Amino acid sequence: MISSIREVLAISQVTDLEAAFTGFDLEMTETLKPLTEALDRNVLSRDVTSIQTHMAEVESWRDRVVRYQSLVTGFVEHAKSAAFLPAKAKGNTELDRDAFRRKVSAGFVAWQKRLEGLIDCIDSRVNLAKKVLFTEVEGFRSARKDV
């Protein structure tokens, strides 16, 4: 899988860009499987340790997902660049050229949105876990005061 912006910018052929997307798509789907499984789990529990473990597991993905999102942004912008713009020719309108740009960038735009959503999900899950932990700890403290 391509792992740097430099590698993205080195792509100069549409077929290479399409191949890069296919590899990226397959790799990201597999790589993100543990995160999506963690986000699918219910965090509401009375077990403080399991909540803390879950929160740490989910939060540990944030930096990686941000890096993947940055890489995808590079793909999106490069795919829309003049490097992949069909030459002006008779019968090849600006609308055709714009449609081609959208076609070669569409998969990467979809991944960009997915990764942005995952960052939001990570943040939301960590915040929820913190709230649940706070409630559990405060409940424990209140119960001890009553004794």
Amino acid at 89: A
- How far apart are the C-alpha atoms of 50 and 69, rounded to whole Å? 29
Q: What is the mean pLDDT of residues 62-82?
A: 96
Question: Each residue of 98-118: pLDDT tens digit?
Answer: 899 999 999 999 999 999 999
Question: Each residue of 17-60: pLDDT tens digit?
Answer: 999 999 999 999 999 999 999 999 988 878 889 999 999 999 99
| Boundaries of every domain in the chain | 5-38+45-141
Crossing angle between the packed helical segments 62-79 and 14-31, to the nearest 10 degrees: 160
User: What is the average pLDDT score of the chain?
Assistant: 90
Burial class, 94, CB count within 10 angstroms (exposed 0-12 / middle 13-18 / buried 19+): exposed
pTM: 0.85
What's the Rg (C-alpha) of the chain?
22
User: What is the predicted pLDDT for the residue at 43?
Assistant: 80
